[in-house]
Amino acid sequence: MSRLYRLLPTARRLRIANDVFQEAPFARSSAIRIAGPTCQHIRWQHAQAEATTSAAGADHAPQEQPDRLQKQIKYTSESYPNIQRDSRFKELNSDDVKFFKDLLGSESAVIDGVNQDALSDLEGFNADWMKKYRGKAKLVLKPDSTEQVSKILKYCNDNLLAVNPQGGNTGLVGGSVPVFDEIILNLSRMNKIRSFDDVSGVFVADAGVILEAADNHLAEHSHIFPLDLGAKGSCQIGGNVATNAGGLRLLRYGSMHGNILGIEAVLPDGTVVDDLSKLRKNNTGYDLKQLFIGGEGTIGIITAISILCPRRSQAVNVAYFGLESYEKVQEAFKEAKHQLGEILSAFELMDHRSQALYNKATGARLPLEAEHPFYCLIETSGSNTDHDSEKLNSFLEHVMGEEIVSDGVVAENETQAQNLWQCREGISEASQHFGGVYKYDLSIPLPELYSLVDACRDRMNEAGLLSADDESKPVLDVLGYGHMGDSNLHLNVSVRRYNKEVEKALEPWVYEWVSKRSGSISAEHGLGLAKKEFIGYSRSETMVRLMKQIKQLYDPNGIMNPYKYI
């Protein structure tokens, strides 16, 4: 793909993003699109993922810094002392390992910490990339076919061996690593693209295909994978589906629930759910595949997906502007939907504190000289460069003429576009630059979306915990940003140091606030281990009970990804 960033005629008071941007300290890469982690973490993750990927053929597990990891990361069982190993689950023995080795054939498909000291090999699979969760698995299995996955799960189910499905291990809620000694079933060797039809746009591939590899394949055929996120170089499409990943293209292309046409999955008892339809329309019975989308591997393992992929856009434009109030932000969003309509592909919100902190942490100059209470980033993607530019320009002239937007810049080339994006994507890192950060990924109905940030700041102030200057106060700032187009707010409480008082003031207050507005306590990151306890803030008792019924139906022994989700 070649993305074209076109020069737009300058609108009234509208300036073209200039070279000062290029002073920004980090170049934008797909890796830093993800919320939360530091660059360092991401780099480690990428190294790990590459090791895992290269291991797909025949090699061993990643050996990236295992000693450092071992020392650094607390076992999950220690961080969560209330969670006990389920005594129903059998402990692995040599006979089990022999069964798996015979089944998988290749030595490289089994990392055996039962019979041999493979601890360093295992660590990369036991620990999550944020270094927050660490399991004690003694066995990693890397099947290379759906049949093997089926035989593994049937054996585990018959023998009450717990299983932790693992894709690219890029999750943010501890869902992809074991809590205790669950067997890790890693999908990385199931990495074949099965088919792509460029008339219908239907792409079929194994679950272990890396998202970026899928997208690159589609790019050769002028199509695009309808999901984009920071971890694309490491995450696997099966994991994306299992976690119902949202990401950057949701506003434009919609969710997995609409785009996934078919799924092949394996149930705990070894049943292969053969629902890998390539059809856009198929009204013949319950749409069971939907339960696996966002099911986080708790009722079965997705082994392949079929997905509808749109044509790749030939034109991409990016603009950044300042606004005087959250009301104006909402007006701008309405106008963008109205005037940019079918080409609007991103509408991102950043408050001025997030931009000031980004500036302070990185030294990067901001796109606009004057300060504004709010900033937005708009991206358009369409099939005609001139038309898109005209639409964007006319939109900007309108919103500036009507004083909805106070000031703005438009990127005139890809570097400038990347730098504008960096003002949005660099916030996550900046917010923990001065010590640490408490982060919340929330869905809140748009009219009240930003009120939480003000309410949270007030709360920190009232508790005497916040000061911009007084180093004795733990909280440095409270900021909000996120995917405005998806009603998805990232609330960050930037701290000088982690502090129990701050935690007490935040939780469960944040969850209660969100719950009162019928919001979601996990917009796109899922439940995993981190949010399991809080589901009641977003779902009624009835819904949780009905979900537990589903879990019980498909996984009566509870062997799939235990201790997590619901």
Scanning residues 191 to 210, which ones bind a second copy (CB under 8 A)? 197-202
Q: Which residues within the stretch 46-75 sit at the binding site for a second copy (CB under 8 A)?
A: none
Q: Which residues within the stretch 285-324 sit at the binding site for a second copy (CB under 8 A)?
A: 285-288, 290-291, 293-295, 299, 311, 313
The number of beta carbons lying within 10 Å of the beta carbon of residue 162 is 25
Of the candidate residues 22, 70, 115, 277, the single one contacting a second copy (CB under 8 A): 277
Of the candidate residues 522, 562, 563, 564, the single one contacting a second copy (CB under 8 A): 522
Task: CB nearer to a second copy: give 271 or 415.
Answer: 271
Q: Which residues within the stretch 14-53 sit at the binding site for a second copy (CB under 8 A)?
A: none
- Looking at 57-65, 384-392, 417-425, 491-499, which segment touches a second copy (CB under 8 A)? 384-392
Task: CB nearer to a second copy: give 199 or 370.
Answer: 199
Q: Does 7 bind a second copy (CB under 8 A)?
A: no
Q: Does 533 bind a second copy (CB under 8 A)?
A: no
The number of beta carbons lying within 10 Å of the beta carbon of residue 50 is 15
Of the candidate residues 27, 192, 384, 402, the single one contacting a second copy (CB under 8 A): 384
Minimum CB distance to a second copy, residue 253 (Å): 9
Of the candidate residues 383, 468, 470, 503, the single one contacting a second copy (CB under 8 A): 383
C-alpha to C-alpha distances, 428 to 109, 139, 168, 414, 440, nearest whole angstrom = 37, 35, 21, 22, 11
Q: Does 366 bind a second copy (CB under 8 A)?
A: no
Q: Return the residue matching tokens 């030294």.
A: 363
The number of beta carbons lying within 10 Å of the beta carbon of residue 402 is 12
Q: Does 284 bind a second copy (CB under 8 A)?
A: yes
CA neighbor of 521 nearest in space, from 544, 502, 537: 537
Of the candidate residues 240, 538, 557, 561, the single one contacting a second copy (CB under 8 A): 538
Q: Does 382 bind a second copy (CB under 8 A)?
A: yes
Task: CB nearer to a second copy: give 495 or 527.
Answer: 527
Of the candidate residues 278, 360, 433, 496, the single one contacting a second copy (CB under 8 A): 278
Of the candidate residues 12, 71, 281, 500, the single one contacting a second copy (CB under 8 A): 281
Residues 6+ apart with CB under 8 A from 499: 465, 474
Of the candidate residues 28, 391, 424, 459, the single one contacting a second copy (CB under 8 A): 391
CA neighbor of 92 nearest in space, from 165, 149, 155: 155
Q: Does 556 bind a second copy (CB under 8 A)?
A: no
Side by side, which strands form the sheet with 110-112? 110-112, 139-141, 183-186, 163-166
Q: Does 280 bind a second copy (CB under 8 A)?
A: yes
- Looking at 139-147, 250-258, 367-375, 422-430, which segment touches a second copy (CB under 8 A)? 250-258
Which neighbouring-strand residues pair with 127? 134
Q: Which residues within the stretch 426-455 sit at the binding site for a second copy (CB under 8 A)?
A: 443, 445-447
Task: CB nearer to a second copy: give 259 or 419.
Answer: 259
CA neighbor of 262 nearest in space, from 253, 247, 273, 252: 273
- Looking at 15-23, 101-109, 499-507, 517-525, which segment touches a second copy (CB under 8 A)? 517-525
Task: CB nearer to a second copy: give 58 or 543.
Answer: 543
Q: What is the DSSP string of 133-148?
A: -B----EEE---SHHH
- Looking at 28-36, 98-106, 241-249, 399-407, which segment touches a second copy (CB under 8 A)? 241-249
Q: Does 531 bind a second copy (CB under 8 A)?
A: yes
Burial 198-216 (b: 16+ CB within 10 A, else e): eeebbbbbbbbbbbbbbbe
Residues 6+ apart with CB under 8 A from 460: 466, 475, 478, 493, 502, 505
Q: Which residues within the stretch 327-356 sit at the binding site for a second copy (CB under 8 A)?
A: 330, 333-334, 337-343
Task: CB nearer to a second copy: give 111 or 250.
Answer: 250
Task: CB nearer to a second copy: give 327 or 403.
Answer: 327
Backbone φ/ψ region at 69: left (φ over 0), alpha (ψ -120 to 50), beta: alpha
Name the 3-class secondary structure at 196.
Answer: strand
Q: Is the dihedral of CA 445, 449, 455, 457 positive or negative?
A: positive
Q: Does 271 bind a second copy (CB under 8 A)?
A: yes
Q: Which residues within the stretch 465-494 sit at the binding site for a second copy (CB under 8 A)?
A: 483, 486-488
| Structure tokens, 437 | 């950060």
Strands 183-186 and 163-166 turn out to be: parallel
Chain Cα centroid distance, residue 479: 20
Q: Does 497 bind a second copy (CB under 8 A)?
A: no
Distance in angstroms (rounded) separating the CA atoms of residues 294 and 283: 22
Minimum CB distance to a second copy, residue 349 (Å): 12
Task: CB nearer to a second copy: give 111 or 153.
Answer: 153
Distance in angstroms (rounded) separating the CA atoms of residues 176 and 48: 14
Task: CB nearer to a second copy: give 294 or 373.
Answer: 294
Question: Going along 78-206, which residue ranges are E strands?
Answer: 110-112, 139-141, 163-166, 183-186, 193-197, 202-206
Residues 6+ apart with CB under 8 A from 96: 114, 139, 155, 159, 161
Task: CB nearer to a second copy: give 53 or 330.
Answer: 330
Of the candidate residues 259, 355, 418, 428, the single one contacting a second copy (CB under 8 A): 259
Size of the site for a second copy (CB under 8 A): 91
Name the 3-class secondary structure at 205.
Answer: strand
The number of beta carbons lying within 10 Å of the beta carbon of residue 94 is 10
Minimum CB distance to a second copy, residue 157 (Å): 16
